[in-house]
């Protein structure tokens, strides 16, 4: 087995006790990247020199008997909407093509304190607006399981890098499913933490009341390890919650005897692919066999979730993206006067999907439409959250499909934005309610991965990880893509 195929928890232990050189691991991953990148295009930028320099530093400290961080020497890929000091942060947009971040995001500071090796920045839908990683200024990423299909989005680069062996761990961001849906499509694990669990300082804003950075990995234990490293209160983020960070790995072996798992009937209705339903229900049956109690619940306002999300998210995007005007930083197009310069900069600098969402958001916030659309959407958002509150009175977590289908073909939905938006029908509610959610592989359909989504109470990622760990163990070796 090649080094790039091993788990983060095994690799970090071997590096810390001197059995394995971090430099050898990084060489292995970089060689894999050279082999796979022409086919997959998971990265926007790579820092090979910096990665090798960090690996040598870790090896030298281990040789001297010094203490090193929890993930010392482990190669990590970072979605390119998270700032790393001195490196480009493009958000896969022409408007930020040459922007160099002057500071580290809080999660990057935490990763550096854990002595990880930062490999580079992964591809995404421009400004994280998309479900396929086809909306990137730098070109689409391809799914390692079938290169004619999408890896999902918007964290498609991170998910594809993991599935192709081009990274051991990765960071993504999730505004309406952008960690969980690509994790499902690429057959990896992706966790969207509770809103406030992980600092958003240094994440380029899309929709500030929905955005959340989260961990992605090839197995549940690695996901738990990475979540522990990046979690915690941050005074630089006003939405960061002052809550304790538990030992997420410590609960994985506790089993699930007596845990009550709810199946929302609205998530198993029309539009769900039959084989996806079968794989998800097989996983649910396995959980029941492991001692969980399965109950049916209802989330009656689910049918309004997509409409609510696509009013609130574009409205916040309209405000957040107003800063890209060609004056302060980023791309600038010339014009005869200031107004023309603004128009040219934004017209040439943003892609079609970003412009579509800015216009949608600006419209819903405009005089005469604010109450009819935005204010009503906020009220429905409250009803959606209340649905979850009610459901959690009778169960400990919910189990649903992550996506209604497996990965679709490149180009299949680009011309039909509404169909593309419906890819997130099972994920957006979690962001609207501020809850934690995880996608874990639960088999395959026609050789393509299927994901099971688990949704938990606020700040109860431990229960999600416990259940996901049982799913992973029970299904290991069965119907893998």
Beta bridge partners of 88: 100
The two tokens of residue 42 are 């998971």
Helix axes 8-16, 22-40, angle to 10 degrees: 150
Rg of the chain over CA atoms, in angstroms?
21
Residue 237 contacts residue 212 (beta carbons within 8 Å): no
DSSP 175-231: SSSTTHHHHHHHT-EEEEPPTTTB--TTBPPSSTTT--EEEEESSHHHHHHHHHHHB
Of 294, 305, 121, 343, which Cα lies nearest the Cα of 210?
305
The dihedrals phi and psi of 71, each to the nearest 5 degrees, come to: -120, 35
Which residues contact residue 60 at a Cβ distance below 8 angstroms, ignoring those fewer than 6 apart?
none
Residue 410 contacts residue 150 (beta carbons within 8 Å): yes
Cβ-in-10-Å burial (0-12, 13-18, 19+) of 364 comes to: buried
The two tokens of residue 106 are 């809080």
Q: Which helix (H) or strand (E) holds 129?
A: none
The Cα–Cα gap between 350 and 344 comes to 10
The catalytic position among 28, 93, 131, 154 is 154
Residue 2 contacts residue 30 (beta carbons within 8 Å): no
Residue 381 contacts residue 248 (beta carbons within 8 Å): no
Strand order across the beta sheet in which 75-79 lies: 43-46, 117-122, 75-79, 169-173, 213-217, 189-192, 437-445, 448-456, 397-401, 260-264, 293-297
The catalytic position among 101, 178, 423, 429 is 178
State yes or no: is 423 an active-site residue.
no
Residue 271 contacts residue 233 (beta carbons within 8 Å): no
The catalytic position among 12, 23, 54, 79 is 79
Q: Which helix (H) or strand (E) holds 77?
A: strand 75-79
The Cα–Cα gap between 431 and 446 comes to 30
Of 204, 207, 208, which Cα lies nearest the Cα of 240?
208
State yes or no: is 79 an active-site residue.
yes
State yes or no: is 154 an active-site residue.
yes
Active site residues: 79, 154, 178
């Amino acid at each position: 087995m090649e080094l790039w195929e091993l788990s983060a928890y095994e690799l970090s232990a071997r590096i810390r006790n001197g059995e394995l050189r971090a430099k050898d691991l990084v060489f292995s991953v970089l060689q894999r990247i050279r082999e796979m990148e022409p086919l997959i295009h998971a990265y926007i930028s790579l820092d090979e020199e910096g990665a090798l320099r960090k690996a040598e530093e870790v090896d030298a400290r281990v040789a001297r008997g010094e203490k090193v961080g929890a993930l010392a020497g482990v190669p990590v890929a970072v979605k390119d909407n998270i700032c790393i000091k001195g490196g480009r942060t493009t958000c896969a947009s022409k408007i930020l093509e040459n922007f160099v971040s002057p500071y580290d995001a809080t999660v990057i500071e935490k990763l550096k304190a854990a002595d990880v090796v930062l490999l580079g920045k992964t591809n995404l839908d421009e400004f994280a607006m998309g479900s396929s990683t086809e909306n990137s200024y730098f070109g689409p990423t391809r799914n390692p399981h079938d290169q004619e299909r999408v890896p999902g989005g918007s964290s498609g680069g991170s998910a594809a890098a993991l599935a192709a062996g081009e990274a051991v761990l990765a960071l993504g961001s999730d505004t309406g499913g952008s960690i969980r849906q690509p994790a499902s499509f690429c057959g990896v694990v992706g966790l969207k933490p509770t809103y406030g669990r992980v600092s958003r300082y240094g994440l380029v804003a899309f929709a500030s009341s929905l955005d959340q950075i989260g961990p992605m990995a090839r197995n549940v234990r690695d996901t738990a390890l990475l979540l522990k490293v990046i979690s915690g209160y941050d005074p630089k983020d006003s939405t960061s919650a002052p809550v304790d960070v538990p030992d997420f790995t410590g609960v994985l072996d506790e089993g699930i005897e007596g845990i009550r798992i709810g199946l929302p009937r609205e998530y198993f209705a029309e539009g769900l692919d039959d084989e996806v339903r079968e794989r998800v229900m097989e996983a649910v049956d396995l959980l029941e066999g492991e001692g969980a109690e399965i109950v049916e619940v209802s989330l009656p306002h689910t049918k309004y979730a997509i409409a609510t999300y696509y009013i609130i998210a574009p409205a916040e995007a309209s405000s957040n993206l107003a800063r890209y005007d060609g004056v302060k930083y980023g791309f600038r197009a010339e014009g005869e006067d200031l107004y023309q310069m603004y128009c040219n900069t934004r017209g040439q600098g943003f892609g079609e999907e970003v412009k579509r969402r800015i216009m949608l958001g600006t419209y819903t916030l405009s005089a005469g439409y604010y109450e009819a659309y935005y204010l009503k959407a906020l009220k429905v958002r409250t009803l959606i959250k209340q649905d979850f509150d009610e459901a959690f009175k009778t169960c400990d977590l919910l189990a649903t499909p992550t996506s209604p289908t497996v990965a679709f073909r490149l180009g299949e939905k680009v011309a039909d934005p509404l169909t593309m938006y419906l890819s997130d029908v099972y994920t957006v509610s979690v962001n609207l309610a501020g809850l934690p959610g995880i996608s874990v592989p639960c088999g395959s359909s026609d050789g393509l991965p299927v994901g099971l989504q688990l949704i938990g109470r606020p700040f109860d990622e431990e229960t999600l990880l416990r259940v996901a760990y049982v799913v992973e163990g029970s299904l290991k070796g069965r119907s893998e893509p």
